Structure 1
Amino acid sequence: MADANTEPNTETDPPAGTMSRRKVLGSLAAGTVVLGVPSVAAAQEGRRGRRGGSARGRGVPPNDGGQAVGPAQFSRIFEGAQPFDEVDDELTAMLAELGARGGLLDAKDPLEEGPIRLITEPELSVNNANNPNHTAGTTFMGQFLDHDITRDAGSTLGQPQSLNRSTNLSSARFDLDSVYGGNPADSPQLYRSDDNILFKVESGGLFEDLPRDSSGQARIADARNDENLMIAGIHVAFLKFHNAVVERVRATTDLDGDEAFAEAQRLVTWHYQWLILHQFLPQFIGQSMVDDILTNGRKHFTTSTPTIPVEFQASAYRFGHSMIRPSYRANMAGDNGEPFFGMVFDPAEFGKNDPADMNGGSRAPRRFIGWQTFFDFGDGEVKPNKKIDTQISTPLFQLPMGSISTSRGEPLGPTSLATRNLLRHITWGIPSGQDVAARMGVDRLTARDLVDVNDIVPRLAGATPLWLYILREADVVEDGMRLGPVGGRIVGEVFIGLLQMDPNSILTTGVGWRPTLASRVGTGDFFMADMLTAAGVDPDSRGQ
C-alpha cells in the first residue's frame, strides 16, 4: 500500500548530508516536508540558463544495456519507448508540486472530522467517492500480491536507473515466497521447532499476531508485510491457513514430514492463485478483460521469461494507492469492547507503541483485524474501497517513516506517496500514458480529459506520466470502478502471464483444477472469506 517496493535500509546512521530520523520527525511535526527536490521557480531559472528557453523534447530511451532477460531483473513491455519527458530540475520540481499535499491529487479529506465520521458519513469526503464494487480489503490483498512478486533491491528514487543494474528480490511468481521463504530448510526461523512444517504464530493479546522478536520486529519472510495492520493480518491469516491445511493433509493422507509440507504448500498456493484469477483480478480489470487475455492471449507482455516490467511495477500496479480510505474500522470490539477506528496513517501517532492509527510494527490487544469490515461475510458489515481516480486520500501525503523503504544510503526523500510514484517515472524512464495507449492501439484520453493536469504542468501536455494517466483513464472510462484499457491491459497481462510462465501454477500443472477446500456459500468456488474461514480468523471463529 505504501511506498514499499525497495529493500529496507539497514543503516543505523544517516548518510552525510541527510537528516536523521529524529530530525525528520521533528521537521514533520513542525509542518515542513523533506523533499530533496528543487522548487519550481529555482528549477526554471536554472533551466533557462542551461537551455536558453528552447522548447522541450522527449527523453531519450534509457540505456539498459540490453533488455533484461532474467527473473531477478526488471524488464520493459515497450522496449525502446521514450521516457515521458527529459530529466532536469524543473521536471523533478513539477512532479513534486503535482504530488504535494493540498495539490491537485489530494482528496482534501476533512481529517479533523475524525476516523469514525469519515466512514459513517461518506458525504464529508466530497472529492473521494466510494467504490461499491470493491470491499475495503481489496486494497490490502492487492498490496500483499505486489509483495509476493516484486521487491526492488536498489534503485534510487528520482534518479535514472538502468535495467541491467536492477534486481528484483522476489520470485516474479505468485508462489507465496513472501510467506514461505522457500521452505523450512531455507528459512527454519519461520517454522516451529517442535513441528517444523508448521509456521510460528503468536498471540497479540486477544487474537493471533505475527511472530516478533524482543524489539517488536516481525520475524517473517518479507518485513514489508508488517507495514500496516491490514497486510499484517492477511499475512498471519496465510500462516494459519497453511497450518490448517497441513493438519488436513495429515488427517486425510498418509503423508507427513517434507511430503506433507509440499502437499500443503501446493494446496495453499493453488487456492491463493484461484483467488487472484477469480476474485481479485476481475475486480481490478473487469471479467471481460480477464476472459479476453485468457482466450486470445497476451498482446504486449509477450516474454517467455517470468520478469516484472517497470511499466507495471512503477506505474500501473500503483493504482491501488487511489483505493485507500483515509480511515478504517480495524475490528468490532477490540478496543476495550468497542470498535477500533483509526486513520490509515496519523503523524501524531508515529513512534508510539500502540498507535491510534493503522500503522504496523506494533503489538497490543486491540491491534488485530475483524475481517467482516474488509471482506463480505454476508452480515452487512463490509465497507467499500475508494474509487480508482486521481483523488488520493489525504493521509497518504504524509507517510510514516517506517513505510518508506529506501536503498542503503539513500536519503528519505518525499513523504508524499503521490510524489514518490511520479518520481519513479524518472527512475525507470517510463513512457507517457499517451504513448502507451498509442502503442496498444486504444483510444487516448483527450486534452479535455486532462485539462486540470495540463493547467498545472503545461510542460506535460500530451505526455502524462503513466501512473497518473492510468488513474484518470479509470475515472473517465470506467467511472473509477476498475482500470481502463491501458491500465487494465498491463495489470491483466502481467498477472496472467506470470501464472502462465510458472510451471507449477493452476494455469499450467493445475489446468482444470478447482478448489478442494470448503466454500461458505456451497458453490464449490473459493473466495477470500473462505480462506479466512479456513484459517480460523473469520467473525464466527472469533465470536465478534
Structure 2
Amino acid sequence: MSQHAARIARDHCLAPERVDAPIYGGRYRSLFDDLPALDSDEDALHALGRPGGPCDLGVDFGDDPDSHVAAVWPFFGQFIAHDITADRSPLGHRADVAAVRNFRVPKANLEGLYGAGPVGSPYLYGKDDPAKLLLSPTGIDVPRNHEGIALIGDPRNDVHLFTSQMLVAFINLHNRLVDRLRDDELAEADVFEAARRAATWHYQHVILREFLPSLIGAELTAELLDDGPQLYRIDEDPYIPFEFADAAYRYGHAQIRDRYQINEHFGPCPVFPDLMGFGPVPPDHTVDWALQIDVEGHAPAQRAKRIDSRLPAPLIALPTQISGSEPGTDYASLANRDLQRGQAVGLPSGEAVAQRLGVPALSAEQVGLAGEGWVGETPLWFYILKEASALHDGEQLGPVGGRIVGEVLVGIIDADPESFRSVDPTWMPTLPARRTGAFGLADVLVPSD
C-alpha cells in the first residue's frame, strides 16, 4: 500500500481527531451539551475492546450472527457517512455560483461522486462528453492514475472494495440519467445539472424510504418525515453531532460479517485485509451485488451480522496500514478505537441520553458488563449496540441509537435547499424499479434496464 493510501486509510474514520477542528469539512459539536461527559477508567475501557474482550466476536460464533438485513446495508451507511462529511468546496458542484454560505454544511448530495463539477473537477468527467462521469477503461472500476490512485471526489470511498464498487454503480446511475435526458431531448446545456439532481434525489429517496425504515423502524421514520427532527436542526451554525459521528452511526461496525462471498469465484473472504482498496480492481474481484442485496429473480443475498456489542475478527485486529498498530494490540481493535473516540470527545453515557430522551434505560443485566468488572454507566457506543440487541434482537437500532441517527439524517436532507424534500416533497423516483413504486438500492446496484 502506498503512503498516500495508508494515510487515507488511517484517516478513514478510525484515527482520533482534534475535537476543536473541522473534520473533512464538517464542524462537530455535542447534540446534548447539557449532559456531563462519561469519564471512564482507561484500563477498563481498553479491556472492553481489546482482543478477547466482550467486544470480540471471536472465531467461534456460537449462536448464528446473521440478521434479516442484507449484507450491503452497512456499506451503504458508510457511503452516506463519507458523503455528509465530505470536504465541501465553497463553489459546490457549480463553479459559477459562489455558495460560500454552504461551505462545510453537511449534505447528502453525492459530492463524493461529483466533486466540484465538470469545471471545478474536470478529471472526473469525460473530455469529449463532460456531462458524463468517467469510469476505468474496462468500465468495472473507478478511474485511476498511472500509480493506481483513484481519481474520485472523495478518496475515502476507495478504502475497500465495497465502497469503490458502490461508487461505480452510482457513476453508472448518473450516466444512465444523462442518456435518458438526451433521449427526452433536453437542452444539452441543462443535461448535466438535471442528471445530477435526479441522481441525488433517487439517492435521498433510498436513504429516507428504504435505509432508514430498516435501520430505525418504520414508525420512527414516519414520525421524523411527518413532523421533522425535534432535537437536531441545522441553523446558521451547521454541524454534525459527536453523539452521531462517534457513537450512534458507528453501529455499522457491528453489522460487518466475518467473511463475504464477492462473486461466484471470489470468496468467502474478510473485508480486511483481503478487500483492502487503494488499487485497481481486477475483473475477477468485481462485486456481484445480487450476493449482497436481495434482487428479484435471484437467490436471497448474504445477510449482515446482527447488531450487538461484538465485532468480527477482521475489525478486532485491523491491518497495520489501517490502524498504524500491530494486529493483536489494543489500538488495532476498531472496538477500542470507537470506545476511545467517545471518551476523547466527551460523550455522555447511554443511560444519560436515554433519560434525556425520556425512554427507559437498559437494565444492568441487558448491558451485561457487571461480570466484566465494569463500574458505572455505559459508554454511548456500547450502549447503543446493546440496546439494538436487547430490544430488537440486533435487527435494528433501539430508541436512543435510532433517534440520534434518524434525527441527523432527516435533518441534513431537510435543511438542504436542493433536496427533493425542500424542492418537491411529493416527488417520486422516475427510474425503473422491480417493484411498482418501490425504487430501492437494488435498482441502483443491479439496474433492470
TM-score, normalised with respect to structure 2: 0.86
Q: Does residue 388 of the first structure (1) align with residue 307 of the second (2)?
A: yes
Q: Tell me if structure 2 keeps the 8 A contact 1:150–1:169.
A: no
Q: Does residue 490 of the first structure (1) align with residue 404 of the second (2)?
A: yes
**Residue in structure 2 matching 1:530, options 429, 440, 443:** 443
Paired amino acid for 1:130: D
CA deviation profile, 1:160-192 (whole Å, cap 9, x unmatched):
xxxxxxxx9964110111111131112111112
Q: Does residue 141 of the first structure (1) align with residue 62 of the second (2)?
A: no
1:29 is matched with which residue? none
SS at match of 2:261: strand
**Residue in structure 2 matching 1:367, options 285, 303, 306:** 285
Superposition CA RMSD, Å: 2.9
Spell out the pairing of 1:321-360 with structure 2 (5 A cutoff): 321-332=253-264, 338-346=265-273, 357-360=274-277
2:157 is matched with which residue? 225
**Residue in structure 1 matching 2:117, options 183, 189, 203:** 183
SS at match of 1:263: helix
1:272 is matched with which residue? 203
- Taking a change above 3 Å as real, the CA distance of residues 234 and 438 of structure 1, as seen in their structure-2 partners, is same
Paired amino acid for 1:331: N
Q: Tell me if structure 2 keeps the 8 A contact 1:100–1:418.
A: yes
Task: Tell me, in whole angstroms, the C-alpha distance in 2 between the residues paired with 1:246 and 1:405.
Answer: 42
- Taking a change above 3 Å as real, the CA distance of residues 10 and 289 of structure 1, as seen in their structure-2 partners, is closer
C-alpha displacement of 1:243: 1.1
Paired amino acid for 1:319: Y
Task: Tell me, in whole angstroms, the C-alpha distance in 2 between the residues paired with 1:381 and 1:304.
Answer: 43
2:95 is matched with which residue? none
Task: Tell me, in whole angstroms, the C-alpha distance in 1 between the residues paired with 2:311 and 2:153.
Answer: 30
TM-score, normalised with respect to structure 1: 0.72
**Residue in structure 2 matching 1:399, options 311, 318, 322:** 318
Q: Tell me if structure 2 keeps the 8 A contact 1:199–1:239.
A: yes
CA deviation profile, 1:274-301 (whole Å, cap 9, x unmatched):
0001110111101111012223332322
Unaligned runs of 5+ in 1: 1-6, 12-34, 37-61, 111-124, 154-167, 333-337, 347-356, 407-411
Task: Tell me, in whole angstroms, the C-alpha distance in 2 between the residues paired with 1:401 and 1:210.
Answer: 25
- Taking a change above 3 Å as real, the CA distance of residues 245 and 435 of structure 1, as seen in their structure-2 partners, is same
SS at match of 1:385: strand
C-alpha displacement of 1:414: 1.3
Task: Tell me, in whole angstroms, the C-alpha distance in 2 between the residues paired with 1:436 and 1:144.
Answer: 27
SS at match of 1:202: coil
- Taking a change above 3 Å as real, the CA distance of residues 252 and 404 of structure 1, as seen in their structure-2 partners, is farther
1:129 is matched with which residue? 65
Paired amino acid for 2:208: L
1:297 is matched with which residue? 228
- Taking a change above 3 Å as real, the CA distance of residues 388 and 173 of structure 1, as seen in their structure-2 partners, is same
2:106 is matched with which residue? 172
Q: Tell me if structure 2 keeps the 8 A contact 1:73–1:308.
A: yes
2:415 is matched with which residue? 501
C-alpha displacement of 1:488: 0.3
Task: Tell me, in whole angstroms, the C-alpha distance in 2 between the residues paired with 1:75 and 1:214.
Answer: 40
C-alpha displacement of 1:196: 1.5
Q: Does residue 94 of the first structure (1) align with residue 29 of the second (2)?
A: no
- Taking a change above 3 Å as real, the CA distance of residues 271 and 474 of structure 1, as seen in their structure-2 partners, is same
C-alpha displacement of 1:447: 1.4
- Taking a change above 3 Å as real, the CA distance of residues 506 and 63 of structure 1, as seen in their structure-2 partners, is closer
Paired amino acid for 1:458: W
C-alpha displacement of 1:405: 8.8
C-alpha displacement of 1:427: 2.1
CA deviation profile, 1:376-397 (whole Å, cap 9, x unmatched):
1121141111111112111111
- Taking a change above 3 Å as real, the CA distance of residues 402 and 191 of structure 1, as seen in their structure-2 partners, is farther
Paired amino acid for 1:328: Y
SS at match of 1:131: strand
Q: Tell me if structure 2 keeps the 8 A contact 1:340–1:366.
A: no
Task: Tell me, in whole angstroms, the C-alpha distance in 1 between the residues paired with 2:259 and 2:105.
Answer: 32
Q: Does residue 455 of the first structure (1) align with residue 371 of the second (2)?
A: yes
CA deviation profile, 1:174-222 (whole Å, cap 9, x unmatched):
0111111131112111112121221110146xx6101111221111111
Paired amino acid for 2:171: L
- Taking a change above 3 Å as real, the CA distance of residues 152 and 83 of structure 1, as seen in their structure-2 partners, is farther
- Taking a change above 3 Å as real, the CA distance of residues 385 and 250 of structure 1, as seen in their structure-2 partners, is same
Task: Tell me, in whole angstroms, the C-alpha distance in 2 between the residues paired with 1:77 and 1:405.
Answer: 30
Spell out the pairing of 1:279-294 with structure 2 (5 A cutoff): 279-294=210-225
SS at match of 1:343: coil
- Taking a change above 3 Å as real, the CA distance of residues 330 and 310 of structure 1, as seen in their structure-2 partners, is same
Paired amino acid for 1:94: A
Q: Tell me if structure 2 keeps the 8 A contact 1:171–1:177.
A: no
Q: Tell me if structure 1 keeps the 8 A contact 2:45–2:339.
A: yes
CA deviation profile, 1:44-66 (whole Å, cap 9, x unmatched):
xxxxxxxxxxxxxxxxxx9979x
Task: Tell me, in whole angstroms, the C-alpha distance in 2 between the residues paired with 1:413 and 1:189.
Answer: 40
Task: Tell me, in whole angstroms, the C-alpha distance in 1 between the residues paired with 2:348 and 2:51.
Answer: 25
Q: Tell me if structure 1 keeps the 8 A contact 2:8–2:155.
A: no
Paired amino acid for 2:244: F
Task: Tell me, in whole angstroms, the C-alpha distance in 1 between the residues paired with 2:406 and 2:154.
Answer: 24
Q: Does residue 73 of the first structure (1) align with residue 73 of the second (2)?
A: no
Task: Tell me, in whole angstroms, the C-alpha distance in 1 between the residues paired with 2:353 and 2:427.
Answer: 35
Q: Tell me if structure 2 keeps the 8 A contact 1:109–1:127.
A: no
CA deviation profile, 1:491-540 (whole Å, cap 9, x unmatched):
0000111111111112111210001111123x032111111244xxx7xx
1:107 is matched with which residue? 57
**Residue in structure 1 matching 2:295, options 377, 381, 387:** 377
Report how many residues are paired: 418
